[in-house]
Structure 1
Amino acid sequence: MMEPKAFGSFVKRGENIYRTSAYIQWGDSEESIGACLLQNPGSATLDKELTQLLNAVGSASGWIKAEDPTMKQLVSVIEGIYGKDKPISGRLHIYNIFNLQNTKSEDAIEHFENLVQSGEYDITKPLVNINEFKLHPWILLGWGVKHERRWENYRLIKEKWRKLIKDTKIPSFGKKHEKKNEYYHPCPLIASHRPMMAQELINIYKQQFCIQRFPSYATKPNLIVEMKQVEKYDDDDYGWYRTPANPESVVKGFSHLSIQSGYKLRAYQFSDGGGNGNGIVWAIPEKKELQDVEDCKQLDGFLSAPKPAHALSDFMQVIEGDKTPLSYLQAAIVYHELHEFGANWHGTSWGRDVILPVQDESGDESYENYSNDQWEMIEKEPDIKEPHFYYSREGYPVIVFHTINDIGTVTWNRYVHVFNKDDYTLKVEQTCIATGGAGIIF
């Protein structure tokens, strides 16, 4: 693979040097493979001949010296993202909050502040050509985390960059400060810390932008669970009653999930006496008992389900996991299973969903039965049919899978689960993307 090269354009005004543009080039393509936004140009300089030209006429463009550590670090990040063994062709564009060249971060900001106050640096001018900026598939943020109250102009120009990124809707990532809305520079001053930082940025990129696919069997429970009867239940079989069935067994069947300490899951069952059934699951404190139905508040809506006084509003609040992509897939399944816990006959909906791809008798997965002319497409056939995980542009974990449901009319459905960043609560959007004729009626 051809070695990447760095290119830069510089202008000189008085004793100050400004880098007006820069990029790292792989191969021959001029297409953007990404961009980064750093604080200001540091030690990257032109070769001797072009430096002489810069001093003589005030401007010069050409190849930047390869020993610059930031350039080397950015090369490591890009090759980690796209792979060293595969040919990379294109440009990583390098932008700066301000383009005054200075190797010391805090000195650079102080100098920038003085230039703005003296009128030598105009922060009201457009930051960059917006049409060029929109061409980047993503931007790495790494302008540093240091800030002082006196750096007012630095704060203002940084906000202009934030607004540009927001307005152009370019996906962004970086190693964010734990408490501040700032991003660590990708090239730490201590050389031994640089490989770890590069790997962190590669991991953050892959978590945020790469789609992880799963086989359909990953949606099944993968642990053997010893069934444990609940401590208090009713013997009724009509109307609402406390069921002996334990909804915790659903969660405990998945290896990446658990129930928050101090809480338990319990359920009420509804039966109409004719085979139809529904249920509702609640998360309650571990030391509390599920209240008698008669003592509960009755919810508005279908069947007026009982809600005990000490129950949380959403049982997903007590579902915990290890934050891996598989844990989110398992949590999505748990969400549906518990929302239909205790459902029978006409109470069933999710219970008739078959997650794609289907498995035949040999265990092989196939779309053969669901990719033929029987479908009347409402939306375009999805490129990815398998269950998959990714992070949204805003950083929310997302699980998507497709199902076939044969109740009434056969439908091909897409489920999109968007999880909270801090726990496993979620919002679900279900969309019918195709119909396939008459289904079953029961």
Structure 2
Amino acid sequence: MNHPKAYGTFIKRGENTYRTSAYIQWGSSEQSIGACLLLNPGSADFHKINPDLNVILNTLFRAKGEIMTDPTMKQLILLIEGIYGQLQPIAGRFHIYNLFNLQNPKSIHAIDLFEALVHSGEYDITESLISLNELQTHPWILTGWGIEQKVSWKNLEKIKDIWLNLIRDSRVPTFGKKHKTYNNYYHPCPLIPTHRSHMLTDLLSLYKQKFSIQRFPTYAARPNLLNEANLLEECDQYQLGWFRSSTNPESILKGFSHLHIKENYKLRAYQYSDGANGNGVVWAIPVNMDLPPANECECLEEHFLIAPKPAFALDDCMQVIDGDKSPISYLQASVAFHDIHEFGAFWHGTSWGRDVILPINEGENADKYQWKMIEDEPATLEPHFYYSNLGNPTIVFHTINDIGTVTMNRYVHTFSKSDYTLRVERTCIATAGGGIIF
């Protein structure tokens, strides 16, 4: 049985003890399996489990090691086991952060003392903060500092806002049981023991609402806005080889209502022609710059057609694509990514252009293929969104492509936590004989 253990780091200043870090450990992995932001450290200490460390704390004024699990930690253990119970054995660390580090089991007394210590200069209000990089290592954060509030608790409101801004900057997804009126979240472990099971049920439900798979109908993967494709002035006449395209690749983004291009940037493209075949390459450049002629650019030797790239272009045009961070925005960004990377493609240059996102609607002869499965049939065929174990927004959809051999393919798009750059993994999961030949 994989029994979790709790660990903490403490310092002592004067009569007060501060817990500067704490986590609950399953197994030996140091990977984060989640985190929470609570009010302040409660009663968990060394006394019963490790009395020698308590002696060290009182003599050297700092100590760290295994600690007893207090009621809050026991409730958090139940929460983690409820979330990851199907993935036994659980392995990793659940980190516990607090708005302030002062240890005190009575929350109201703790807040009053915290306010007094900050006012006297004995406590730095930002002492509990962690780095943005550390915050981004967590797949999710549970917010639950309690719902008590007083007008006099001004420093508590300040540190709460600082933490919330840090979490927003990290883009790490959060959940918690929010008060109906105030911007406060119920503590995960109510003082009344009989209320704890109900709170656990509520938190598990909120987690599932936030992080379970969200499915989309096929039409959600299509552009949903009409826009006119305006021809560009800084272009070249059609010719063989590389030349500046007269078509604006921004029209791809303008077809999706949840996406936009970041201010001060624009998208421009080069077209490649080889008789009846064609390809293109799209670059993100500053809005005040023009795309230079192809022969004035360095060429990318690693590109299969040795594409031109302006010196001032970003390496990845997805860096300038932004959205509202909703699940559907990531679906739209996944499709836009493929459309951008096949901009200007025709005839033998086409690949993604023959992909049909599943499931196929009735009346489109969905049963015409006899599939030979390479992998098991997908449990969820519809396009869907979820957060990965590391907290990355992820979109999965399946397609049929009939070029050469008819294939069923799984596309997994794993997005950065901070922007819409992504990593794409394509896997052929089934075949159905010969397809079309251009």
Distance 2:64 2:337 in 1: 54
Q: 1:142 to 1:296 in 2, by over 3 A?
A: same
Secondary structure of the residue aligned to 1:412 is strand
> Structure 2 counterpart of 1:258, which letter?
H
> Structure 2 counterpart of 1:386, which letter?
E
Distance 2:292 2:98 in 1: 54
**8 Å contact from structure 1 (residues 320, 423) kept in 2:** yes
**8 Å contact from structure 2 (residues 218, 382) kept in 1:** yes
Secondary structure of the residue aligned to 1:304 is coil
Q: Counterpart in 2 of 1:144?
A: 98
1:102-117 matched pairs, under 5 angstroms = 114=54, 117=57
- Residue 423 of structure 1: how far off its partner (Å): 0.9
Q: 1:185 to 1:440 in 2, by over 3 A?
A: closer
Q: 1:116 to 1:132 in 2, by over 3 A?
A: farther
Residues 1:375 and 2:371 aligned together: yes
Distance 1:322 1:408 in 2: 38
> Structure 1 counterpart of 2:421, which letter?
T
Q: Counterpart in 1 of 2:114?
A: none
Q: Counterpart in 2 of 1:404?
A: 400
Q: Counterpart in 2 of 1:278?
A: 279
Structure 2 residue corresponding to 1:335, chosen from 317, 337, 343: 337
- Residue 375 of structure 1: how far off its partner (Å): 1.4
Structure 2 residue corresponding to 1:347, chosen from 346, 349, 353: 349
TM normalised by structure 1 equals 0.61
Distance 1:353 1:415 in 2: 11
- Residue 389 of structure 1: how far off its partner (Å): 0.5
- Residue 302 of structure 1: how far off its partner (Å): 1.1
> Structure 1 counterpart of 2:352, which letter?
W
Q: 1:188 to 1:336 in 2, by over 3 A?
A: closer
Q: 1:234 to 1:41 in 2, by over 3 A?
A: closer
- Residue 115 of structure 1: how far off its partner (Å): 6.2
- Residue 137 of structure 1: how far off its partner (Å): 2.7
**8 Å contact from structure 1 (residues 142, 186) kept in 2:** no
- Residue 360 of structure 1: how far off its partner (Å): 3.7
- Residue 358 of structure 1: how far off its partner (Å): 1.3
Distance 1:115 1:40 in 2: 23
- Residue 376 of structure 1: how far off its partner (Å): 1.4
> Structure 2 counterpart of 1:277, which letter?
G
Q: Over alpha carbons, which structure has the higher Rg? A: 1
Residues 1:210 and 2:212 aligned together: yes
Distance 1:239 1:329 in 2: 33
Secondary structure of the residue aligned to 2:207 is helix
**8 Å contact from structure 2 (residues 175, 210) kept in 1:** no
> Structure 2 counterpart of 1:406, which letter?
D
Query: How many percent identity over aligned positions?
Result: 50
Q: Counterpart in 1 of 2:237?
A: 235
Structure 1 residue corresponding to 2:269, chosen from 259, 267, 270: 267
Q: Counterpart in 1 of 2:315?
A: 313
Secondary structure of the residue aligned to 2:228 is coil
Structure 2 residue corresponding to 1:432, chosen from 414, 428, 435: 428
Q: Counterpart in 2 of 1:52?
A: none
**8 Å contact from structure 2 (residues 229, 251) kept in 1:** yes
Q: 1:190 to 1:400 in 2, by over 3 A?
A: closer
> Structure 1 counterpart of 2:251, which letter?
S
Distance 1:112 1:286 in 2: 64
Residues 1:420 and 2:416 aligned together: yes
Residues 1:174 and 2:142 aligned together: yes
Distance 1:345 1:184 in 2: 46
Distance 1:114 1:185 in 2: 35
- Residue 312 of structure 1: how far off its partner (Å): 0.8
**8 Å contact from structure 1 (residues 143, 184) kept in 2:** no
Structure 2 residue corresponding to 1:392, chosen from 380, 388, 391: 388
Distance 1:230 1:205 in 2: 47
- Residue 173 of structure 1: how far off its partner (Å): 3.7
> Structure 2 counterpart of 1:417, which letter?
H
Secondary structure of the residue aligned to 2:337 is helix
> Structure 1 counterpart of 2:343, which letter?
F
Encode CA deviations 1:105-134: one digit per residue, 9 max, x unaligned.
xxxxxx998566369x994479799x9998
Encode CA deviations 1:336-362: one digit per residue, 9 max, x unaligned.
00100000111000000000011245x
Report the RMSD for the aligned CA atoms in angstroms. 4.6
TM normalised by structure 2 equals 0.62
Q: How many pairs does the alignment contain? A: 323
**8 Å contact from structure 1 (residues 188, 197) kept in 2:** no
- Residue 232 of structure 1: how far off its partner (Å): 1.1
Instruction: Point out the more displaced range, 138-147 or 215-224.
Output: 138-147
1:6-405 matched pairs, under 5 angstroms = 98=45, 114=54, 117=57, 123-124=65-66, 135-138=81-84, 144-147=98-101, 173-175=141-143, 178-179=165-166, 205-206=207-208, 208-273=210-275, 275-300=276-301, 301-361=303-363, 368-369=367-368, 374-405=370-401
Distance 2:417 2:321 in 1: 14
**8 Å contact from structure 2 (residues 41, 98) kept in 1:** no
